[in-house]
Amino acid sequence: MRAPAEIHARLTGVTRVYDLPGGAKLHAMGPLDLALARGEFFAVVGPSGCGKSTLLDVLAGLAPPSAGEATFEGKPVDGVPDGIGVVFQEDASFSWLNVRDNVAFGLRRAGTDAAEVTRRVDYALGFMGLNDFAGAYPAQLSGGMRQRVCIARTLVLQPRLILLDEPFGALDQQTRLLMGDELLRLWRETGATVLLITHALDEAAMLSDRVGVMSARPGVFIDVVETGWPRQRDSRIVSDPRFGGITARLWDKLRVESLKIMGGAKP
Amino acid sequence: MTREGWIRLAVVAALVALLEALCRGGVIPRTVLLAPSDMAVSLWQILREGQHNTDIVSTFRNVALSSALSVTLGFALGVVIHALPRLRATIEPLLASYYAVPTFMFYPVFIVVFGVNAAAIIAIAVLLSIVAMVTSTLTGLDRIPAVLRKTARVYRMSFAKRALLIDLPAAAPHLFTGAKLAFAYAFIGVIASEFILSGQGVGYAIAYAYNNFDNRTMYGLMLLVILAAVTANTALDVIDRRLQTRLRR
C-alpha cells in the first residue's frame, strides 16, 4: 500500500474478535493496516460480513480493536475523538426534531453561540439543498432527503475526518449518483478526509482517490486501487473510458472473495 | 375532520336518534331507559344545581391521581425491568397474562389495608392500569433504533443526556400510548371501585340512584361518565395520532 505523505488517520495491525455466546469467538477483521492521507477520499469495498463496518467503528472509536492500534491526527483513538463525523447507513435523523433542529443538534450540544449556530446551519441547509424543508419533520421527507439531513448534521460540526458507512445503501441508483455529487462537493469544499464504506463498486470507483478491497472474513486489504481521478470531478466520470477498467479490477478481486462466502465455489 | 370521522359521527347520531325515537314512541319504557334528550336535560340539571359536585370532583381527582401514579410508577418500573434482562425474562410472561386476572377481586384486601376511602379506590385503579404503562415503556425502549444510540456515542453524550435527549423522545409515541391506556384503565378502575367500596364519587352516586329507582339521576350521571371518557379519550387520541404521524420511522 502506498504510504501517503501526511497521514491523517491510521490503523496498525488492527484486529477485531467478537465473543460469541458459549465461549466461541468470531474473528471479524484483521490484522489490517491502513493509512489515510489528509484530505484524501478513500473507499472500502468487500464482501458481506468481511468487517467493513467494524473497520469504521474502530476508526470512529465506537469499538475498541482486539489487537493493534487506531490513531487519528497522531493520537490513539480512545472513544470518539473530536473532529470525527460519522454518517450511518440507517436513518439516524431525530424524528422528533424538524430539519433545522436536527442539523443544529450537535452545535447546540457543544454550546456554540446562537449566532454561529444559525450561520452554520443556514450554510449546511443551503449546501445540502434543504432550505425549503427547514421546518419539515423527517417523517415528511424521502429517504434521500433524510440522509441529507444526517450529512448536514455531520457537516455543521466541521469534522476533519468524515466516516460514511454505506450512507446511500437504501437509495435508488439515480439518487445515489446525485448524492455522490453532493458528497464530492462537500469533500472539496471542506478539505476533510473521507472514508466511505460501500458495497457499490461504481460508487467507490466514482467517488474515491483510492479504493481498498477487503477479503472475506476475517477481512484484510487484498488490493488498493488508485483511481487517478482529478479532485474536480462528479458523477459524469462514469462515462470516462477508464471507469470501466477500475470497476473491472475491483470486481475481479471482489468476485473471488464473494464466491468464498457463497460456499467456497471456485472462481 | 376526515371522511371516516364524519361517517363515525353520523353513525353515532343515527343511533342516538333511533334510541330517541324508540323511547319517545313507547317501544322502550321510561322505567327501562330514558330518551337521550331526557338524559341530557337531567345531566344539565345535575350540573346546574350542583348536588353531585362533590361526587364529580372526587371521581375526577381520583382518576387524575390514579393516572399520574400509573404513568409515573409504570414508566419507572418499565425502565428498571428493561435494564435488567434476567428480571425481565422472569416477569414478562406474568405481564403478558396480567389482564387475565380479575384485579377487582382483590378489593377486600385493599379495604383491609386502606379502609373504605379514596386510597383503596386509587390502589385498585393503579393496579388495573399500571401494567399498560409498564408494557408500553418496555416496547418503547425496545424500539429505539440502535443507530440512534450509536449517534449518541458519536456526540459523546453521557448516559443521562442520552436518556433525556435521545431515548425519551424516541420512545415517546409508545410512552404516550401507554399513558393513554393507563388513563382509560384508571377511569374504569375508579368508577367501578366507587360502585363497591365508596361512600362518594360518580360511581357511588349512580349505584345509589339505581337502588332508589331514581332513573333521571342515574342516566344523567351515566351520560356524564360517557361524555367525560369519550372527550378525554378523543383528545388523547388526537395527540397520539399526531405523535405517531410525526415520529414514525
Instruction: Write down all domains in chain A, each with its CATH number in brackets.
Output: 7-83+160-261 (3.40.50.300), 93-158 (no CATH)
Percent of chain B with pLDDT over 90: 72
User: Which residues on neighbouring strands pair with residue B50, listed in sequence order?
Assistant: none
pLDDT of B241 > 90? The answer is: no
B-contacting residues in A 180-239 (Cβ below 8 Å)? none
B20 and B104, same domain (yes or no): no
Angle B74-B77-B82 (CA atoms, 0-180°, nearest 5)? Answer: 120
Number of folded domains that form chain B: 2
B239 and B218, same domain (yes or no): yes
Radius of gyration of chain A (CA): 19
A-contacting residues in B 205-224 (Cβ below 8 Å)? none
B181 and B226, same domain (yes or no): yes
Compare CB distances from B154 to A86, A95, A138 and report the shortest one's residue: A86
Contact A109 B155 (CB under 8 A): yes
Q: Check CB contact of B155 with chain A, cutoff 8 Å.
A: yes
| Least reliable range by pLDDT among A136-140, A173-177, A186-190, B53-57 | A173-177
H or E element that contains A221: strand A221-226
* A101 min Cα distance to partner chain B (Å): 12
CA–CA separation, A51 and B5 (whole Å): 52
Q: What are phi and psi of A254, to 5 degrees?
A: -70, -30
Compare CB distances from A90 to B145, B154, B170 and report the shortest one's residue: B145
Mutate to test the interface with B, among A54, A77, A88 (most CBs of B within 10 A): A88
Residues 6+ apart with CB under 8 A from B35: B19, B20, B23, B24
CA–CA separation, A171 and A176 (whole Å): 6
Closest chain A residue by Cα to residue B151:
A92
Neighbours of B54 (CB within 10 A): 12
Q: Please state the ipTM of this predicted complex.
A: 0.86
Closest chain B residue by Cα to residue A165:
B147
B17 and B93, same domain (yes or no): no
Q: Check CB contact of A91 with chain B, cutoff 8 Å.
A: yes
* B148 min Cα distance to partner chain A (Å): 6
Half-sphere exposure for A242 (CA within 13 Å, toward CB): 9
Q: Check CB contact of B147 with chain A, cutoff 8 Å.
A: yes
Q: How far is CA A267 from CA A173, A224, A254, A264, in A?
A: 28, 21, 11, 9
B64 and B5, same domain (yes or no): no
Q: Is A135 exposed, middle or buried (0-12, 13-18, 19+ CB in 10 A)?
A: exposed
Burial A234-265 (b: 16+ CB within 10 A, else e): ebebeeeeebeebbebbeebbebbbebeeeee
| pTM to 2 decimal places | 0.82
pLDDT of A5 > 90? The answer is: no
What average pLDDT does this structure show over B99-127? 87
Q: Check CB contact of A131 with chain B, cutoff 8 Å.
A: no
Q: Check CB contact of B168 with chain A, cutoff 8 Å.
A: no
pLDDT at B103: 82
Q: Check CB contact of B166 with chain A, cutoff 8 Å.
A: yes
B28 and B42, same domain (yes or no): no
* Cβ-based contacts of B170 with chain A (< 8 Å): 94-96
Are the CB atoms for A99 and A134 separated by under 8 Å?
yes
Q: What are phi and psi of A75, to 5 degrees?
A: -110, 145
* A181 min Cα distance to partner chain B (Å): 25
pLDDT of A121 > 60? The answer is: yes
B19 and B86, same domain (yes or no): no
pLDDT of B101 > 80? The answer is: yes
B2 and B92, same domain (yes or no): no
User: What count of residues does chain B have?
Assistant: 249
Are the CB atoms for A52 and A214 separated by under 8 Å?
yes
Closest chain B residue by Cα to residue A93:
B148
B126 and B235, same domain (yes or no): yes
Mutate to test the interface with B, among A58, A86, A87, A95 (most CBs of B within 10 A): A95
Burial A106-122 (b: 16+ CB within 10 A, else e): bbeeeebeeeebeebbe
B22 and B79, same domain (yes or no): no
Q: What are the pLDDT digits (tens) for B170-217?
A: 999 999 999 999 999 999 999 999 988 778 899 999 999 999 989 999
Q: What are the pLDDT digits (tens) for B31-63?
A: 888 999 999 999 999 999 998 999 999 999 999
Query: Which residue range is the domain that position B231 belongs to?
Result: 37-247
CATH number for B93: 1.10.3720.10
Contact B248 A139 (CB under 8 A): yes
Q: DSSP label at B167?
A: I
B96 and B189, same domain (yes or no): yes
Q: How far is CA B194 from CA A159, B66, B118, B225, B235, in A?
A: 63, 13, 9, 13, 25
Are the CB atoms for A35 and A10 separated by under 8 Å?
yes
What average pLDDT does this structure show over A161-187? 86
B195 and B164, same domain (yes or no): yes
SS3 B214: coil
Closest chain A residue by Cα to residue B155:
A106
User: Which residues on neighbouring strands pair with residue A210, listed in sequence order?
Assistant: A42, A226
Query: Please, what is the angle between helix B107-114 and helix B168-197, to 10°?
Result: 90
Q: Check CB contact of A142 with chain B, cutoff 8 Å.
A: no
